[in-house]
Amino acid sequence: MSGLASVGCEPGTEIEMSSNNHAYNRELQQDARSWAAFTGSKYTAALRQMTSPFTQGLLGDRPSARHLISVLDQHPLVGTDDDGPSLSDNGFYADDPWRFNGQTDFVELVLVVEMLRMFTPTVAGQEPELSSYKLKHTAEQFLRPHCDYVSNGRLIWAAAALGLDLVDRGGSLNLSVGVSEREHHYLRRLTGSGQERPRGHQFRPPGLLHLQDALARCAAGGPLTGAWVRPASAQVGAPFHDWLTAQVGRPDPVGDIANDYTAGVRDSDHPIASTPGELLSLLYDVEPSPSFYDAAVAAIAEWMATSPEAAPIRTDLVTRDAHEVAGWGAGPGDIEVYRYRCPCGFGEIVEEHDNTPGFREHDVHIRCDRCREEWLFAAGLPVRGWGLVPAIGAGRAQAG
Ligand SMILES: [Zn+2]
């Protein structure tokens, strides 16, 4: 798409370097000429925009002005058809002409391209759900103060230039744009006014942090860091999470907690619980009703009884204390005490190690009446490697 990738990357000879620079400058000049002609603005103003740090490609190749212009002519949906142009600022088949200010119009369009690049695109078979109109507002929120206004048409234009899936819902100025709806929701919570900030980051747009950093660097006039590489969409194995989300819709307490948990993951209310212990950690934060906690224990017991991948539960460490002691004749040693939350959160699990020569006692116990009834230490584990299993699950396993 451009010669940018080859500039300054390879330890080539001076001749190669200068020819790369020469090719790159020619690209910029051709783009500036095309943009000036297309928008009816001055060449020098267009060239200034082509050389702005903001337009050199923050999450990928430098977006080329000639490519952007050609999209309006050739794109299968929003390109020119027999009746003329099919896109302008107000949206799809709006018939007002584009408005260009001749100063920042190209930079702003490129910033919308970069904003859309941060998301995971929808894949074949996945229906785009996000309205271009909603996205344009999110783009404005996110790109402030670098760009204050984004028109619906420019949002669609940028999406078309990136090859994102675009769907005409019929009779609307808006199109549906093929980027992850969950990731958009996350960004909306992050940047929208009056929104509660996301507390789980499973749907953070993959390019978000790099783009935020790059925008700040551009604004400060500093050098950019290395190129961003879109992460491969490797699904991290989280068997407990997968099992729990598969229980959605069950007409019992386990179904209820599965519904709540899955909705919370989807809306970035909390992180994914890849283990039952992580589910208990999430529950500490929301102070569940007793029946909700009971449902969580029932879900965990069922998972442990049915899944070969289930491991005993560890809970959150609260404090760690170690102090040296003089010892009794055989020399000094130390005593370590670790306090963990108990599963219900109202008591604790205490792990103690007396490392004094001649004593060397190691012990772990539950200091919570309720959890002593409901949980057992899994058999066969060393004190430091303790883990809990639900008493009802253990009972069922023994009975079975
Ligand atoms: Zn407890």
How many other CB atoms are found less than 10 A from the CB of residue 368?
A: 18
Q: Supply 363's token pair.
A: 């012990």
Do 104 and 215 reside in the same domain of the chain?
Answer: yes
CA of 366 from ligand 1 middle (Å) equals 8
Q: Residue 133: inside a domain, yes or no?
A: yes
Do 247 and 132 reside in the same domain of the chain?
Answer: no
pLDDT of residue 7: 36
Mean pLDDT for all residues in the chain? 89
CA of 367 from ligand 1 middle (Å) equals 7
Do 277 and 334 reside in the same domain of the chain?
Answer: no
pLDDT of residue 328: 64
398 band by pLDDT with thresholds 50, 70 and 90: very low
Is the per-residue pLDDT at 185 higher than 90? yes
CA of 374 from ligand 1 middle (Å) equals 9
Closest by alpha carbon to 356, among 333, 372, 379, 374?
333
Do 56 and 94 reside in the same domain of the chain?
Answer: yes
Distances in Å between the alpha carbon of 307 and those of 246, 275, 382?
A: 13, 12, 23
Average pLDDT over residues 232-241: 79
CA of 282 from ligand 1 middle (Å) equals 15
Q: Supply 218's token pair.
A: 């551009």
pLDDT of residue 26: 94
CA of 245 from ligand 1 middle (Å) equals 25
Do 103 and 28 reside in the same domain of the chain?
Answer: yes
CA of 281 from ligand 1 middle (Å) equals 13
Q: Residue 119: inside a domain, yes or no?
A: yes
Query: If 0-12 CB within 10 Å is exposed, 13-18 middle and 19+ buried, where does residue 145 land?
Result: exposed
Rounded to 5°, the CA angle 190-203-212 comes to 50
Q: Residue 233: inside a domain, yes or no?
A: no
- Distance, CA of 125 to CA of 251 (rounded, Å): 30
354, amino acid identity: D
Do 81 and 211 reside in the same domain of the chain?
Answer: yes
Find the helix packing angle between 181-191 and 132-143, rounded to 10°. 40
Q: Residue 158: inside a domain, yes or no?
A: yes
pLDDT of residue 399: 36
Which range among 35-44, 302-311, 344-353, 376-385 shows the weakest confidence by mean pLDDT? 302-311
Residues 6+ apart with CB under 8 A from 216: none
**To the nearest 5 percent, what fractions of the chain are helix, strand and coil?**
45, 15, 40
Do 196 and 247 reside in the same domain of the chain?
Answer: no
User: pTM of the full predicted structure?
Assistant: 0.83
Do 157 and 263 reside in the same domain of the chain?
Answer: no
Domain of 350 in residue numbering reads as: 317-390
Query: If 0-12 CB within 10 Å is exposed, 13-18 middle and 19+ buried, where does residue 177 land?
Result: buried
DSSP secondary structure code for residue 6 in this structure? G
What total number of domains does the chain contain?
3
Q: Supply 180's token pair.
A: 């992850």
Place of tokens 């959890």: 371
Query: Which regions of the chain does DSSP assign to beta strands (E)?
Result: 87-88, 91-92, 130-131, 166-168, 175-177, 317-325, 333-341, 348-354, 361-367, 375-377, 388-390
Looking at per-residue pLDDT, the higher value among 392 and 259 belongs to 259
Q: How far is CA 64 from the centre of its chain?
A: 28
Final residue in a domain of this structure, among 220, 252, 283: 220
Average pLDDT over residues 316-342: 85
Do 160 and 17 reside in the same domain of the chain?
Answer: yes
Is the per-residue pLDDT at 13 higher than 70? no
Tens of pLDDT, residue by residue over 139-171, are: 999 999 999 899 999 999 999 999 999 999 888
Do 16 and 137 reside in the same domain of the chain?
Answer: yes
